[in-house]
Amino acid sequence: MKSILFIARHYYFSGKNLLLINVISILSILIVAFITMALVIGMSVFNGMENLIRSLYNSFDPEIKIAPREGKTFVMTDKLHKLIQNTEGVFIITEVIEDNAVLSYKNETDVIKIKGVSESFDLQHRMDSFLVTGSMSMHKQGRDFAIIGRGIQYKLSVPINSQFAAVQIFYPDRDRIKMPNAMDAFRIKSIHAGGVFAIEKQYDDNYVFVPLAFAQELMNYDKERTSLEIKVAEGYAIDAVRDQLKEKLGDAFLILNSDEQHKGLLKAIKVEKFVVNVMLSFILAISSVGIFFCLTMLTLNKRKDIAVLKAMGATKTFIRNLFMTEGMLIALSGAVIGMGLGVTICFLQQNYGFVTIGTETSVIEEYPVELRLSDLIWISCTVICISFIASIRPSIIASKLDLKKHL
């Protein structure tokens, strides 16, 4: 093995009289390096986007969500509440009523998602860090307050904590849907805006949080709920608590962790990441033709050397392994350079954020990246496999050269 490596290193740059082979070797190394760097950066960006989406949604969505499998609502009973509360690992239960409604302020209206939450919602502290102005308290000094998204506030110019400026919320009355006057078919309640949150445009432009009792009265609900939001106690695994709840509640409810609540979006990101990886790997496979031609030309140029090695007792396997090693050296040189550049760029982006998104409305200023060891291993294996395949044919040709013709 040492002799194979020694000779392969000697052939690595084949001498001053082999300028064309040297040029092809260098080009092959540079192409492999560039594509390897692109793979590292591309996969790291997708990892960063996946983590960003998780962090944003985890701020808004619960660790575990319980919703009816069929229909929009279910009846919340004391028995059901005790069953869930007595589950090991369940720390906080927040009751939720959520539906579409119309919010009006002065002469402006907007279709919104109204989300009525029980008092335990404040104890979860999910949105505290995203409060722009006002407070998260929805009940102060005997009055109810709404927490609205920044997009809704901008669109309707809603003042915060104003004693004289209340917004009106319209919701269809189930008992009066067919009234001649359209306005008579709505239940209407007024509430003051007590705070503004800003998480992500999808939420900021749509959601208004109100106390559960306010939503019950507006929607004419009694014990109906649209979902329950669970916070898991510290030290307990979310998935383990979810599995316990599934066993206790059976098939009547959907019990979802944070990833399952956005399964489609996260799956789409993974599919996009896979497609990009396949495309770049395909380009890498095409670029490996350079390694093939380089080894083929080297084989033809080194016919006399091969004949001498065979005369000295070198076997076909030795010759084949020699040129396989030469191909791997070219590929690995490019892979090491590319991986080093990719890791360096990602490290600089993580720490200094020199590549920015460039839009004022974005949640973050710079592109998120995250390096994962599993990705680096996968990229290394891909480069090695493609280079190995590209080196097979020239190596076989070299091992089959006729000894008599070249001595």
Cα gap 270→278, rounded to integer Å: 12
Using one digit for the tens of pLDDT, what is the confidence trace for 356-370? 776 655 667 788 899
Cα angle value 320/325/327 (rounded, 5°): 100
30 with 72, same domain: the answer is no
Using one digit for the tens of pLDDT, what is the confidence trace for 177-230? 555 555 667 889 999 999 999 988 889 999 999 999 999 999 999 899 999 999
Among 206, 228, 258, residue at a domain's last position: 258
| Cβ within 8 Å of residue 67, ≥6 positions away | 226, 227, 228, 253, 254, 256
Using one digit for the tens of pLDDT, what is the confidence trace for 369-407? 999 999 999 988 888 888 888 877 777 776 666 655 555
Does residue 257 carry a pLDDT above 80?
yes
322 with 231, same domain: the answer is no
Q: Are 249 and 66 in contact (CB under 8 A)?
A: yes
Between 318 and 246, whose confidence is greater? 246
274 with 376, same domain: the answer is yes
Per-residue model confidence (pLDDT) at position 127: 85
Structure tokens at 360: 């004022």
306 with 349, same domain: the answer is yes
Contacts by 6-14, CB closer than 8 A, 24 or more apart: 7/309, 7/322, 8/322, 8/325, 8/326, 8/329, 9/329, 11/298, 11/302, 11/326, 12/326, 12/329, 12/330, 14/298, 14/301, 14/302
44 with 149, same domain: the answer is no
Torsion, Cα of 69, 72, 78, 84 (10° steps): 40
Among 225, 258, 291, residue at a domain's last position: 258
Taking residues 31-48, report their average pLDDT: 90
Using one digit for the tens of pLDDT, what is the confidence trace for 65-123? 999 999 899 999 999 999 999 999 999 999 999 999 999 998 889 999 999 999 999 88
Among 258, 286, 304, residue at a domain's last position: 258
Q: Report the candidate in 394, 61, 87, 388 with the shortest Cα–Cα distance to residue 228.
A: 61
The amino acid sitting at 65 is: K
167 with 283, same domain: the answer is no
The amino acid sitting at 126 is: R
Using one digit for the tens of pLDDT, what is the confidence trace for 283-292? 888 877 777 7
Cα gap 88→215, rounded to integer Å: 30
Structural domain containing residue 83: 63-258
Taking residues 246-271, report their average pLDDT: 89
340 with 400, same domain: the answer is yes
By three-state DSSP, how is residue 70 classified? Answer: coil
Per-residue model confidence (pLDDT) at position 114: 96
Cα gap 166→181, rounded to integer Å: 24
| Cβ within 8 Å of residue 249, ≥6 positions away | 66, 83, 84, 255
In percent, the amount of the chain with pLDDT more than 70 equals 84
